[in-house]
Copies of this chain bind each other. A is one copy, B any other.
Amino acid sequence: MVTISDIAKELNLSISTVSRAFTNPEMVKEVTRKQIIEKADEMGYQVNMIASQLRNKSSKLIALVSLQPRMSWFTDDLLNGAQEYVREEGYEIVTLNAHNAKVDSISICERMRFAGIIIAATELGRDVEVKRSKMLPTVYVNRMSEEGNNILTDDAAGISDLMDYLYSIGHRKIGYISGPENSLNSVIRLNTFKKKMQEYDLPVRDEWIERGEWMAEDAREAARNILSLPEYPTVLVAANDQMCIGVYQAIQEKGLVVGRDISVAGYDNTEFSQWMNPPLTTVSLPLYEMGQIAARTLLMKIEGKEEIKKEQIVRGELIIRESTRTV
């Protein structure tokens, strides 16, 4: 493997000059520099960041640690947002998957002396437990942590917007399929649903509230239960998009048509929601933006600049499609 010393030897220069040609080019005479760069290219030289990091004690690599078995849509959009931001500042992001790891991912980040860590959890309060880093600046996305900085989505505002919209187009009989009890996102969404119902002076009917584990299958079962009642709602809200697939199935089984006979709305704006038939009304998770904010916050911590907010809450957007309609 070629080193600056190899280049120096070839050119009869000192290693310091070669080093400077790369890190402080203006300190090296034009012609010498040209020579060095050329020779380096020819020899296939690449700076050894390992060595330079040991010397400088500073890394330009940020870890995005994903707590899910599959990285998928959640990490993906988050990454894009974060990436765009950090690249402007000369950093790069590498993604680690904490699921099933032999050595915990946080330790890997620490041992590699990465510049900082972004932790991404899909479910507030439910993902794998993860060691907190005492060594590296960390920000948490969709996870509450006492010590770090938390970037959260405004689930209450999201459901609130959705409910207002449904109310405004005439819905009064609203069914709800919640996520699991131990997910904070789920709890917030459900509570907001109930709160809004009270606000509208509408009864919260227990038989119209079901619960699932975020999965299509659970929701199909749940929707079947609700639809088999003597009276059922004019709209079914599910706590995430995935469950709406099951809701669509149950509705179809009953010979009804989504968006005509009964409305459906979800949450997350996952990619396939636009491809459903009919396309699903939902609330977006502002992942791209959360990624950017996470990145900005992390870089501020890394560079030890200003005081940073403990919590930043980002609002999603109501996306109206054909699965909901006026009654």
Contact = CB atoms under 8 A, between A and B. Distances in A.
Interface of A: 1, 44, 46-51, 53-54, 57, 61, 63, 69-73, 75-77, 79-80, 83-84, 87, 90, 92-97, 100-103, 105, 107-108, 110-113, 134-135, 216, 245, 248-249, 252, 272, 275, 277
Given A1-B135, A49-B112, A84-B100, 9 more contacts: A46-B111, A49-B111, A71-B95, A90-B102, A92-B103, A92-B105, A93-B97, A94-B94, A249-B277
B100 A87 contact: yes
Nearest to A1: B135
A44 B111 CA distance: 12
Taking each of A84, A113, A275, which has the highest tally of chain B beta carbons within 10 Å of its own beta carbon?
A: A275
A212 to B, nearest CB: 15
Lowest 3 A-B CB distances belong to which pairs? A94-B94, A95-B95, A49-B111
Contacts of A69: 80
Q: Copies per complex?
A: 2
B54 A51 contact: yes
Could you say which of A49, A92, A112, A113 has the most chain B C-beta atoms within 10 Å of its C-beta? Answer: A112
Nearest to A111: B49
